[in-house]
Amino acid sequence: MPLILQECVEEDADQIAEVLYAAFAEDVWGRIMFPQRPPPDVDTPTKRHYRRLISSEPSVFLVKAVDTETHQMVGVARWELNLKTKSDAEWDAKMAREWDEGTNTTATDFLIASVVEKDREFMGATPHLLGLGLLYVHPDHQRKGAGRMLAEWGLDMADKKAIPCWLQATPQGAGLYRKLGFEDVGNMDIDMSNFGGKGVYRYVCMIRPTKDS
């Protein structure tokens, strides 16, 4: 299964959404937020969101890992270059998302607000920074190197620009990022009982310092 990386184009939006749903289908928090998966042939707010990011957000880089034998998209990373301090309106705009039918909007809005608050705490003060917003690999293709390739794409960019990287890792992602030089700098805990689940879901806040620092 040789893999290549390519920047996404607008026509990839449907596949990006399908791989997203598949990747988080077994995640406990993903199951709460997305109890139902929209039918693949429906044009959803998530697909429109990705089309907009690809067509009109030059600071956002959506990269896909493609299996060269099947031409299937197996994973996606969303990197964002933060070269200037965002205004309050720009931070608020990050929280205003329209969700697909069947989404638990209370849970999902809560997560986005919590993630944006942490992004703001860390990235707001350090505008020259590359943020990894999302990284996911289809379950049929995990543990075969796609996640590492997609992460290294952004790390190469960060090294060329001599800037640090920032992310909030799911429990599944944290191990990979530690291997790639990210350091734990905090946590974001979600009490799952507030959303009909059990226990605490911990996101790990991580920074990979500038290589020369």
Ligand X SMILES: CC(C)(COP(=O)(O)OP(=O)(O)OC[C@H]1O[C@@H](n2cnc3c(N)ncnc32)[C@H](O)[C@@H]1OP(=O)(O)O)[C@@H](O)C(=O)NCCC(=O)NCCS
Interface residue list for ligand X (CB under 6 A): 23-24, 27, 135-137, 142-148, 169-170, 172-173, 175-176, 179
Nearer to ligand X, 51 or 141 (CB): 141
Question: Strand pairing partners for 183?
Answer: 207
**Shortest approach of ligand X to residue 88 CB, angstroms?**
26
Please state, in angstroms and rounded to a whole number, the distance separating the CA atoms of residues 132 and 168.
8
Nearest to 196 by CA among 114, 109, 106, 116: 106
Q: Give residue number: closest CB to ligand X.
A: 147
**Shortest approach of ligand X to residue 135 CB, angstroms?**
5
Nearer to ligand X, 72 or 142 (CB): 142
**Shortest approach of ligand X to residue 18 CB, angstroms?**
13
Our CA dihedral for 192, 195, 197, 198, rounded to 10 degrees, sits at 30
Nearer to ligand X, 55 or 79 (CB): 79
Please state, in angstroms and rounded to a whole number, the distance separating the CA atoms of residues 178 and 175.
5
44 within 8 A of 35, measured Cβ to Cβ: no
**Shortest approach of ligand X to residue 126 CB, angstroms?**
19
**Shortest approach of ligand X to residue 107 CB, angstroms?**
16
Burial of 145 (0-12, 13-18, 19+ CB in 10 A): middle
**Shortest approach of ligand X to residue 15 CB, angstroms?**
15
188 within 8 A of 174, measured Cβ to Cβ: no
Nearer to ligand X, 162 or 171 (CB): 171
Please state, in angstroms and rounded to a whole number, the distance separating the CA atoms of residues 136 and 64.
10
Nearer to ligand X, 115 or 157 (CB): 115
Nearer to ligand X, 92 or 175 (CB): 175
- Residues 6 or more apart whose Cβ sits within 8 Å of residue 104: 32, 33, 34, 35, 195
